[in-house]
Structure formats: C-alpha cells, structure tokens
C-alpha cells in the first residue's frame, strides 16, 4: 500500500473539495470511491471541514463553499517547508496570493495562489498533519494535472517556485505534447495545453485524478448519481480514464491504472 507520513517539498500532498452540499457529496464520493467522510471533532472550528478516509487513512478533504459565487471545485496542494517563503516566491514569479499563509490549528500552515496563467493551487507546510496518508491506490488520488493555454509561462513559474522541470512526451493519437512535471527523476504531476481542446470559458485549472478499478463502471455510476461525463473514457499508455463532474459541477478524473502503473507507484 502507498502509505505516507511525510512528503518531499514540491510534491502534491493533499486534495480537497469545496461543495454546496457536504452531506450529499460525502454520500456521492463514499459510494464512488469507498470513502467514509465523518465529521471531525474540530469540524465546527474549521468551518465544517472534513477529512475523507479510505481503509482508515486520510485521503482527501471536503468543505462547504465559503463565499457567494464560489464554484464547486477540487483543489491540489503542494508540500512546502515554508509557506511564507513560498508566497513570496509566487509573487516574485508573477503569481497571485489569493489567501495569505495561515495556521490551521497545529495541523500545518496553508496558502492559496493562482499561477500567472490563472490556475488556482494551494501549498501545505506540514505540522502534525502531513497530507494524504494513502495515495496511488484505488479510491485515492494518483495524479494531478495542470491544464493551461500558456505552457511556457507555466513552465517558468513552477520551475521558479518549486524547482520543477518538464519532460515532453507526444500524446499518441491526439496530437500535441504532454508534459511531466519532474523534480530530479521523480514525477510530480502533468501538464497539457488545453488551447482548442476545451471551450474558452473553461479557465486554466489543476485536475485531480482518482484511481478506480473500472473506469467505465465509474462513469456510469457518476451519471446515474446525477453527475456528468466531460471527456472519455479513453485509453492511454498508463490506463483508461474519463473526465467527469459530480452532481454539483466539481470536475475530476476517474483513472483505471494499468497493473504495471499500480505496481510501480511509490
């Protein structure tokens, strides 16, 4: 099992959902991904925030929408050693600080930003909580992908902030290139140019991939529960995936990884 009690700086370490109906969302994702999403003893202090559990391990967060007009969405958080220093690096690299670094009790310190292309992301400086305790398994997040129309700008920004480099690969059967974010030899996530692939009204974003045992069955379950199919299902080198939306419009990907990918996952 891909259990974690710490993350190297620059590694996506946590994902969470902002939703207008946390009880119904807990049931939807519980049925789909096998989660328990109990109220925490400190949920009231944290604005209703909950942690989803898989096999007794933390795998994702879930919270009510915090302000008028906030869209339901999944967010990706990257592990850092100093959230305040990262906030300065983000500003210096042309990003925007959306939520200044703040302590979350003794759990850690977080901040939220947009990159220069407009995609939201967060950072997490661990205290007593490192992030997801289980990843790369069924029912857990296994990949995080930036969709942007300004690839070169994103390369420069994330390289400056996190020290990421990119490895360019052709997208078989689709044309264009796919980019792997890397830190040394380790893959941190992906990036693709969404120009022409997605409608102009869809902004740049980080997409969260959750591993499922059967992509087509997951799509059917999403649709039967009132969610939508945005793209796919389609086969790729590492498995079969589809981009879907939950009943409230939050978009994520359902990924059926190959046995080889599961076996190789750190």
Let me know whether 163 and 254 are in one domain: yes
103: domain CATH number?
3.10.180.10
Same structural domain, 85 and 164 = no
Residue 38 has pLDDT above 70, yes or no: yes
Asked if residue 247 lies in contact with residue 24, where contact means CB atoms within 8 angstroms, the answer is yes
Structural domain contains residue 134: no
Distance CA 61, CA 42 (A): 13
Residue 240 lies in a domain: yes
d(CA 236, CA 56): 31
Chosen domain end from 126, 149, 182: 126
R_g of the chain, CA atoms, integer Å: 17
Expressed in angstroms, the distance from the first to the final Cα of the chain is 9
173 with 102: CB under 8 angstroms? no
* 247: nearest Cα among 22, 25, 63: 25
Q: Which residues contact 62 (CB under 8 A, 6 or more apart)?
A: 16, 17, 19, 22, 25, 26, 29, 37, 49, 50, 51, 52
Helix 83-92 / helix 151-162 crossing angle, nearest 10 deg: 140
Question: Could you read off the pLDDT of 103-118 as tens digits, one per residue?
Answer: 999 999 999 999 999 9
pLDDT of residue 145: 97
- Cα-Cα-Cα-Cα dihedral sign, residues 28, 31, 35, 40: positive
The reported pLDDT for the residue numbered 43 is 65
Nearest to 201 by CA among 144, 253, 149: 149
Q: Name the DSSP class of 36.
A: B
User: Are 33 and 71 in the same domain?
Assistant: yes
Q: Are residues 114 and 165 in the same domain?
A: no
Q: Does one domain contain both 119 and 147?
A: no
- Answer yes or no: is 4 within a domain: no
Q: How many residues does the chain have?
A: 266
> pLDDT, tens digit, for every residue of 127-152?
999 999 999 999 999 999 999 999 99
Q: Is 236 helix (H, G, I), strand (E, B) or coil?
A: strand
Q: How far apart, in whole angstroms, are the C-alpha atoms of residue 143 and residue 255?
A: 9
Q: CA-CA distance, 159 to 93, in Å (whole number)?
A: 9
Q: Which of 22-36, 70-84, 161-175, 234-248 has the lowest mean pLDDT?
A: 161-175
Residues 182 and 253 in one domain: yes
pLDDT of residue 47: 80
Which alpha helices (H) appear in 103-236, and where do they start and end? 151-162, 215-224
Does one domain contain both 119 and 149? no
Domain residue limits at 186: 141-264
Please count the other Cβ atoms lying within 10 Å of the Cβ belonging to residue 24: 15
> Is 260 part of any domain?
yes
Q: Which of 2-6, 32-36, 56-60 has the lowest mean pLDDT?
A: 2-6
Read off the tokens for 59: 């795998």
How many structural domains compose the chain?
Answer: 2
Helix, strand, or coil (residue 131): coil
């Amino acid at each position: 099992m891909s259990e974690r009690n710490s993350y190297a700086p620059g590694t996506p370490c946590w994902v969470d959902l902002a939703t207008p109906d946390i009880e119904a969302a807990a049931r939807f994702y519980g049925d789909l991904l096998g989660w328990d999403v109990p109220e925490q003893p400190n949920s009231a202090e944290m604005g209703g925030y909950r942690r989803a559990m898989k096999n007794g391990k933390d795998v994702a967060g879930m919270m009510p929408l915090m302000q008028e007009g906030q869209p339901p969405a999944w967010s990706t958080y990257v592990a850092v050693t100093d959230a305040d220093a990262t906030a300065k690096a983000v500003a210096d690299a042309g990003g925007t600080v959306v939520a200044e670094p703040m302590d979350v009790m003794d759990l850690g310190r977080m901040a939220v930003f947009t990159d220069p292309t407009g995609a939201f992301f967060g950072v997490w400086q661990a205290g007593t909580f490192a992030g997801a305790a289980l990843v790369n398994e069924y029912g857990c997040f296994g990949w995080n992908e930036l969709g942007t129309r300004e690839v070169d700008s994103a390369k420069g920004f994330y390289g400056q902030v996190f020290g990421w480099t990119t490895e360019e690969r052709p997208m078989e059967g689709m044309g264009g290139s796919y980019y792997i974010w890397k830190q040394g030899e380790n893959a941190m996530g992906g990036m693709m140019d969404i120009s022409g692939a997605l409608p102009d009204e869809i902004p740049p974003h980080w997409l969260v991939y959750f591993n499922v045992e059967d992509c087509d069955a997951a799509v059917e379950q999403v649709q039967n529960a009132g969610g939508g199919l945005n793209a796919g299902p389609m086969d790729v080198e590492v498995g079969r995936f589809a981009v879907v939306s939950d009943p409230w419009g939050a978009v994520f990907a359902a990924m059926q990884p190959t046995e080889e990918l599961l076996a190789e996952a750190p």
